[in-house]
């Protein structure tokens, strides 16, 4: 019995490591998007963390987020922003994967997956605003020449932008929601054909 449990755990760890590696690679293929300041980029690594959350469990989904950002931070280094971008990405991605994974865990249907993705996307978007306003952007101000310098990047896109809070509401919130929705859509589409492969690691 203990040998069987050990094999299950080892197999699951291997799949977690593999999915983390895929998430790391995808995370590096980020790209700027129109109508956003150049330092804000889009990536689809949350597709992998959602797949982990659905197939292995919500905690495992969070673990994939943690490994992805920890490895990226180790390679990239803290830099002038003290690694705040990776910390922000981890918290928001973890909230996304945990929320969606928990809902799907108790309703393992396509409808449950869709509801989980919607709830996760909304939770990720909601938590991004206070994180950005109170923690992330104050660090960016110190790293990139002050609040006016950052605000100037938004004013190049919308001249009447009056404050960072306004910029976050007008630009960042919709961006985060669209990013989450895109990852959710891709996950719902590809999860069913991929799940037999991923579920080679039995759930404990």
**CATH code assigned at 159:** 1.10.1760.20
Assess if residue 52 is contained within a domain: yes
Beta bridge mates, 31: 42
Assess if residue 106 is contained within a domain: yes
Assess if residue 203 is contained within a domain: no
pLDDT digits (tens, 9 = 90+) for 106-141: 999 999 999 999 999 999 999 999 999 999 999 999
Whether 81 has a pLDDT exceeding 60, the answer reads: yes
Confidence grade of residue 201 (pLDDT, cut at 50, 70, 90): very low
**pLDDT at position 200:** 56
Assess if residue 7 is contained within a domain: yes
Assess if residue 168 is contained within a domain: yes
Assess if residue 204 is contained within a domain: no
Question: What's the domain count of the chain?
Answer: 1
pLDDT digits (tens, 9 = 90+) for 39-51: 899 999 999 999 9
Residue 80's SS3 state is coil
Assess if residue 72 is contained within a domain: yes
Mean pLDDT taken over the chain: 92
**pLDDT at position 5:** 56
* Boundaries of domain holding 131: 2-198
Tell me the C-alpha distance between 58 and 94, whole Å. 9
Tell me the C-alpha distance between 173 and 176, whole Å. 5
Q: Which string of b and e fits 23-37 if b means at least 16 CB within 10 Å?
A: bbebbeeeeeeeebb
What's the whole-number mean pLDDT along residues 71-91? 91
């Amino acid at each position: 019995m203990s040998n069987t449990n050990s094999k299950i755990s080892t197999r699951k760890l291997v799949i977690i490591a593999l999915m983390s590696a895929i998430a790391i690679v995808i995370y590096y293929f980020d790209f700027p998007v129109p109508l956003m300041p150049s330092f804000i980029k889009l990536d689809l690594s949350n597709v992998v963390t959602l797949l982990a959350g659905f197939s292995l469990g919500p905690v495992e989904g969070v673990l994939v987020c943690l490994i992805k950002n920890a490895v990226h931070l180790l390679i990239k280094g803290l830099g002038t922003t003290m690694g705040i971008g990776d910390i922000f990405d981890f918290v928001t991605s973890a909230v996304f994967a945990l929320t969606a994974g928990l809902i799907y865990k108790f309703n393992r249907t396509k409808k449950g997956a869709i509801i989980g993705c919607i709830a996760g996307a909304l939770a990720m978007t909601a938590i991004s605003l206070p994180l950005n306003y109170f923690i992330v952007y104050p660090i960016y101000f110190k790293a990139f020449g002050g609040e006016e310098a950052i605000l100037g990047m938004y004013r190049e896109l919308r001249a009447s932008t009056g404050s960072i809070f306004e910029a976050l509401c007008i630009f960042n919130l919709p961006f985060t929601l669209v990013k989450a929705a895109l990852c959710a859509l891709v996950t719902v589409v590809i999860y069913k054909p991929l799940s037999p492969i991923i579920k080679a690691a039995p759930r404990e």
